[in-house]
Chains A and B, each alone.
Chain A
Amino acid sequence: MVKRIIILLVIVFFAIIIFPLLKVDPTDSLSSLATKYIRDGADELGSANLVTSIVVTYRGLDTLGEVAVLFIATAGVGFLLRKKKNSSANKRRKSSEILSSGTSFLVPIIFLFGVYIFTHGHLTPGGGFQGGVVIASGVLLLMLSDVSLKFNHFLLSAIESFSGFFYIIIGILGLFLAGGFLDNRIFSLGTFGNIFSAGAIPIIYSLLGIKVGSELVGILGNLRDSE
C-alpha cells in the first residue's frame, strides 16, 4: 500500500514539473552565448543547420569525447564477452525465403540512406551518429536474415581506428590553417546551402558516421558470436 502511494506521489510530482513544458516557447529567453551562436553562426561557419555547426565546430571537443565513450563501450563489450569455441550457427533456425530476398533488396537502400544522412548533416537534421546507426541497422538486418554471416573483426577495428585517426588529423589541421582545434574553415566555405559547403563539416561527419557504424557493428557482432 505504501509502495502504491509513493508511486502515485512520484507521478503527480513529475506531472507538476512536466506540465509547464507544454507552454514553453523555444525562442523566449536566450543566454548571451546562445544569442551569439544564433546571430553569428550561419555567417561564420556557412552551415545551414545551426545544431550541426555547434556540435561539430563550437563544441567539437565534446563530440570527440562522446565518440571516445562509444569506443570504450565497444572495447568493454569485446573484453567481457568470451569468444565461442565451436560455432553453433547450424543450431539456429534458418530464415525464410521472403526474408532473405527482401533483405538483399533492402540493405543497399538502407546503406544509401545512411550515407545520405551523414553527408547531408549540414543541411538536414541528422549527422554522423544518426547515419552510423542507420548503417549499423542495415548490417543488423543482414545478421538477422543470414545465420552463417561471418564478421572480420580485424577489418572492422581497422576501419574504426583509421576514421578516428583522420578525425584527429583534421582537428590538428585546424590549429595550423584556421582558428583552432577542429575549426571547419580549413577549406573554403562554399555557397550557403550546397552539398559542398560549410568547410570541413561534411568530411568530419562522414568520418564520424563510418566510426560510429563500425563500432556499433562490432558490439552487435560480439554479442552474437559470444557464449
Chain B
Amino acid sequence: MITIIVIVLGLIMIIAAFLAIYQKNLVAAVISAGVISLLASILYLLLAAPDVAMTEAAIGSGLTTVVFLYAISKIKKKDGE
C-alpha cells in the first residue's frame, strides 16, 4: 500500500517538475513548484522524517510561493515602465 502511494506521488512530482520547467507563464510555474514541495513533504513523512516534512510544508507551500510572486511582480513593474 505504501509502495503504491510512493509510486503515484513520485509520478505526479515528475509531471509537475516538467510543467514547472516548460510552462511559459511564470505564475503557473510557481504553482507547479508548490505542488512539488506539497508532495515532497508526504514522501519525507513516509521515510520517517516528520521534522523535515514539517519544515517543507511550512516553507514550501507558503513562504517560497509568496517570495517568488513578489519577485515576479517587481520584474513586471520594471518591464512596464
Contact = CB atoms under 8 A, between A and B. Distances in A.
Interface of A: 11, 18, 21-22, 24, 26, 51, 117, 125-127, 129-130, 133-134, 136-137, 140, 216, 219-220, 223-224, 226-227
Nearest to B21: A7
B47 interface: yes
Nearest to B14: A11
A216 B63 contact: yes
Nearest to B18: A7
Interface in B44-61: 47-48, 50-51, 53-55, 58-59
Q: Is the interface of B mostly helix, strand, loop or mixed?
A: helix
B54 A220 contact: no
B63 A140 contact: yes
Listed residue (B62, B71, B77) with the most chain A CB atoms within 10 angstroms of its CB: B62
A130 B74 CA distance: 28
A43 B10 CA distance: 39
A134 B67 contact: no
| Interface residues on chain B, size class | 20 to 34
Listed residue (A11, A125, A140) with the most chain B CB atoms within 10 angstroms of its CB: A125
Interface in B1-52: 3, 6, 10, 14, 47-48, 50-51
Nearest to B10: A18
A24 B3 CA distance: 12
A125 B54 contact: yes
Contacts of A18: 10
Contacts of B50: 125
A137 B71 CA distance: 18
Interface in B62-81: 62-63, 66-67, 70-71, 74, 77
